[in-house]
Amino acid sequence: GVMEKLGLGPEVLLRENPRLIYARLTGFGQTGKYAKSAGHDINYLSLSGVLSKLGRKNENPYAPINLLADFAGGGVMCAMGIVIALFERARSGKGQVIDASMVKGVAYLSSFLWKSQHLGLWSQPRGENLLDSGAPFYETYRTSDGKFMAVGALEPQFYKQLIKGLGLNLDELPAQMSFSDWPEMKKKFASVFAQKTQAEWCSIFDSTDACVTPVLSFDDVASHQHNKIRSSFIKNDQGEVSPRPAPVLSRTPAVPSHKRDPFIGEHTVEILLEYGFTKQEIAKLYSDKVIEFKNPKANL
């Protein structure tokens, strides 16, 4: 209801321009019990059902920073809604309103969890299943230098290479899918991984199909050979590292900027002047706390 209070709700603006695509990105959505309540990523995750699936055995559910609901279920889903609406407008000539709720977005993002419930992937309690840290061959392990390796050897042919790289004998181990043996197998794998450094394990598993990779820190990720070849990370003119825009399009790839990120409000006046606002109107917007400047005295 915030935009309605400003007289800029979708009903008003769509009357002015029926082709307008109006995206409304919220946590709980435009309607419902929590529509007007404050919330954050962890709250939207909890209401979507996804949070109940995240966490290790005998531990509380945990939220993976704020990537899932805020950015994936919120930002990415909203952007996809805009693209869909643009595509539809090319046919109908009409705009529409996008109700992008983070609860709904992250719930839809988790469709695989719902559709695979009867496949045996999630039949056990949290932290005891194939992909949620229950399996010894889909887990992270600490190395002797305090770093970590990620293991994702799901298929039998990959599992064999994992066992070979660890220096174990497949014939002397329980069957890969012997669920009751998983806790002991995790202990065994952990003790083996703890005997070598991350670099030593990389020299063993690189160029194999064991699905074993280093868990890279932000400090190390840009210098890793694979990421360097792919130019996956870039530096700005102040030496700050960030990911290169993705996905990469063949004809019109994104051209990354190497300039520093703008300060909040740095270009507010410049953009509003471009769109025809007068300096007096801009000053009024600032005094009403509608907009923010980096340095209002220097700009007006």
Active site residues: 40, 70
CA separation, residue 284 to residues 8, 263, 287, 296 (Å): 17, 21, 5, 12
- What's the residue count for the chain? 300
Residues 54, 63 contacting (CB under 8 angstroms): yes
Q: Which residues, in sequence order, are bridge partners of residue 99? A: 24
Euclidean distance between CA atoms 195 and 190, whole angstroms:
9
Residues 286, 293 contacting (CB under 8 angstroms): yes
Do strands 138-142 and 233-235 pair parallel, antiparallel, or not at all (unpaired)? unpaired
Euclidean distance between CA atoms 59 and 119, whole angstroms:
25
